Structure 1
Amino acid sequence: MTSARLRPARLSPADILRTGGVGLRARRARVVLSALGIAIGIATMVAVVGLSTSSRADLLSRLDRLGTNLLTAEAGKDPLGQEVKLPKNAVAMVERIGPVEHATATGNVDARIRRSDAVPEERSAGVTAQAARPDLLAALGGTVGKGVWLNTANEHLPVTVLGAIAAERLGISEPGEKIMMNSEYVVVVGILEPIELVPALDRVALVGFPAAEHHFAFDGHPTTLFERSTDSSVDDVRSVLARTVNPGNPSGVKVSRPSDALAAKAATDQGLTTLMLGLGAVALLVGGVGVANTMVISVLERRQEIGLRRALGATRNAIRLQFLTESLLLSALGGLAGSALGSAATYAFALAQRWTAVVPPWSLVGSLVITLLVGALAGLYPAVRASRLDPTRALNAT
């Protein structure tokens, strides 16, 4: 009668997890420090992705609100370096383009702006003057923060509406105060909120076209023309806008799309996000090295335990699984903590910036997958080394 061959018992998944967890619970301080490296790397990556996504979402929301169908046509310079003057009827000509829904203009006014006559003329406040039409604010989607905007009743009078930065530089906080434009006092009737699509207007004092011609010798020629058309026809209008604004010298007209600056900012943010993800990956790599170091030291410290388990019948595969599980659990703890920290940082910063916080689910899933891969790689060598220990020598180790 032959005896049946003995087969080693197989560990269930629950047994593997329990065995792997025992080693971590016995060395809690070291586990926390090792997991911290993984947590920092994962937190950096999750926060970078979350903040970048939140920033782009806010930017796209602003673009949707402001519109991408605004084009500007500015007077350039001729080959001799002289500034080209746009025709006085440029707005009327642009309005004849079929898809154009709205057209308006501003013109540069030669006026020195001071807070009062006590300030010398040569010490300007860094504020320029421009003539504006009453329909400018509607075309740009701007709003008046305080006071009123230019209208058909006051555009003939010596009154002005200040941009947000212009008001700050002049020390004007409320409408009704007076400032000096050249040698004439002008009443401030309104202060604008920042104009996102045309930030240059934030530093300007705006007066009506008739008032600029009567009080400041403005010649009536517009300097910058703004037009809005249907979204589907923006490129078509752009291709003919310069010739329409100045048929005699279209090369002297610079046509641009203000929303392109916001789109370029989104592209810049994407490049910065890639750089920061690289830094997060470096931190994660350092964390992985820390996990590997912890596991190697753990194998050296637990040689007698390994030898005893081998003597009691544990297979090399069981030893490998034990230490590989410890490494995976250690990395998973760091990954979960890092995901939580990264998400919290995203929500806190987005709240401070008044953004809508967005943490893409794929970033959380991806961070967990990356964490487990790092744990597997970090624990592979220590696990194999532990499984190859000779039981006799391991038991006799001091």
Structure 2
Amino acid sequence: MTLKPGAAKPRPARLSPADVARLGAAGLRSRPLRVCLSALGIAIGIAAMLAVVGISTSSRAELDQTLDRLGTNLLTAAPGETRTGEEAVLPEESTALVGRIGPVESVSATGAVKKSIYRTDHVPAGQTGSIQVLAAQPELLTVVDATLHAGSWFTPATATYPTVVLGATAARRLDVPGVGTRVWLAGEWFAVIGILTPVPLVEELDSAALVGWDAARSYLGFDGHPTRLYLRVAPTQVTAVRAVLGRTVNPEAPNEVSVSRPSDALAAQQATDNALNGLLLGLGAVALLVGGVGIANTMVISVLERRAEVGLRRALGATRGQIRGQFLAESLLLSTLGCVGGTLLGVVVTGLYAASQSWPVVVPAWAMAGGLAATLLIGAAAGLYPAVRASRLAPTEALAGT
């Protein structure tokens, strides 16, 4: 057909985004097995990255809930070192001195007793089970927010008799079945009147055997000097109290007092976990990159196998841009398929692991949005070269090669 002079050249019909998507989907449906295997690489990468972020976020949410429940206003003070390198000693009146600080809501203390506790008097002296014996003041249970698994805490009466309250780990190491059992301590039989549940902010109590303050003086030769103070402070005054605590506990040698905040240790543990999470995220990114290479390989092979289709479409009037759009759409759909599968897998893994740890299940929306953005970017990059290569095929060359 010849055009009249001055007549406009015919323009190829434009394909709507829906038409391009249908063309891309048709290309994927023709090779279902290859598509699934290629999408699997993307899915593994997305699932790995999302699971790491989700598990880390769920763990952090559990930590936040724990700190909210236990409180971040617990401070401890313990003896440091003297100028000669020896262990310092806290004054006997340390508890009373700290109690005079206005923002301090409650205070208690424990004192180390250099004695060993055994299940019976027939156990060899060296088999201590690493259980520390501590004298405990009556307010300790309330200050550290500990609870009893069984039995009772010291009363004004039982605190003066040979009785003991065991931490959760100590009870397990001594193989104590419950309250009422007798244990051998410093040549005396002590009755177990209580067993604590684990104390997250004060883990040293878990492996300790606690004796009443007065009983420790009477039966164990305790000198009355506390070795660790525990105090609850008004939440808005933690920093201020922490600054003056050393001078209050030991006015003559404030530098010999070590002050800490137990909740900081939990936060530091979370930071350590984050370093490992960074490594796992890196591995997930590598898996995602490998998945992108798989998509590129699939699309290149697809172009070689479909030369006849490309030639026929070009002969029927398809432009190079439309050919590029078709193969680029296939690549993006393929990567999106992997992203959807990987997101579902990552959420399921996060949910199962969080449920096994009794954590709240938290999957950040930004992680899923970031995974989708990364997938589309990789899909576009992986499909760009095959799309350009397909668009450059001449119709006669493509049809002649069939």
Deviations 1:54-102 (A, max 9, x none): 1111101111111111111101232233332211111111111111111
Shift of 1:166: 0.4
- Number of aligned residue pairs: give it: 398
Deviates most, 107-116 or 270-279? 270-279
**Does residue 320 of structure 1 match 2:324?**
yes
Deviates most, 72-81 or 332-341? 72-81
Q: Which residue of 1 aligns with 2:400?
A: 396
Q: Which residue of 1 aligns with 2:205?
A: 201
Deviates most, 12-21 or 373-382? 12-21
Q: Which residue of 2 aligns with 1:366?
A: 370
Shift of 1:269: 2.7
**Does residue 60 of structure 1 match 2:68?**
no
Q: Which residue of 2 aligns with 1:32?
A: 36
Shift of 1:40: 0.5
Shift of 1:249: 1.6
**Does residue 306 of structure 1 match 2:317?**
no
Q: C-alpha separation between the residues in 2 aligned to 1:7 and 1:81? A: 91
Paired residue for 1:15, among 7, 14, 19? 19
Paired residue for 2:335, among 331, 336, 349? 331
Q: How does 1:272-287 map to 2 (within 5 A)?
A: 272-287=276-291
Q: Which residue of 2 aligns with 1:354?
A: 358
TM-score (norm 1): 0.98
Q: C-alpha separation between the residues in 2 aligned to 1:370 and 1:190? A: 56
Deviations 1:356-377 (A, max 9, x none): 0001112112211211111111
- What is the percent sequence identity of the aligned residues? 58
Shift of 1:167: 0.4
Q: How does 1:18-97 map to 2 (within 5 A)?
A: 18-97=22-101
Deviations 1:260-294 (A, max 9, x none): 10111222233222222221111101000000000
Paired residue for 1:103, among 102, 107, 115? 107
**Does residue 176 of structure 1 match 2:180?**
yes
Letter in 1 for 2:33: A
Letter in 1 for 2:157: A
Letter in 2 for 1:365: A
Q: C-alpha separation between the residues in 2 aligned to 1:326 and 1:77? A: 69
Q: Which residue of 2 aligns with 1:6?
A: 10
Deviates most, 9-18 or 197-206? 9-18
Q: C-alpha separation between the residues in 1 aligned to 2:225 and 2:8? A: 106
Deviations 1:180-208 (A, max 9, x none): 11211111000000011110111100000
Q: C-alpha separation between the residues in 2 aligned to 1:306 and 1:122? A: 84
- The alignment partner of 1:5 has SS state of coil
Q: C-alpha separation between the residues in 2 aligned to 1:101 and 1:125? A: 35
Deviations 1:89-139 (A, max 9, x none): 111111111111111110011211111011122222221100001110100
Letter in 2 for 1:124: T
Gaps of 5+ in 1: none
Q: C-alpha separation between the residues in 1 aligned to 2:86 and 2:117? A: 25
Q: C-alpha separation between the residues in 1 aligned to 2:252 and 2:280? A: 50
Q: C-alpha separation between the residues in 2 aligned to 1:262 and 1:344? A: 27
- The alignment partner of 2:230 has SS state of strand
Where has structure 1 moved over 3 Å in runs of 4 or more?
1-4
Q: How does 1:121-270 map to 2 (within 5 A)?
A: 121-270=125-274
Q: C-alpha separation between the residues in 1 aligned to 2:218 and 2:358? A: 45
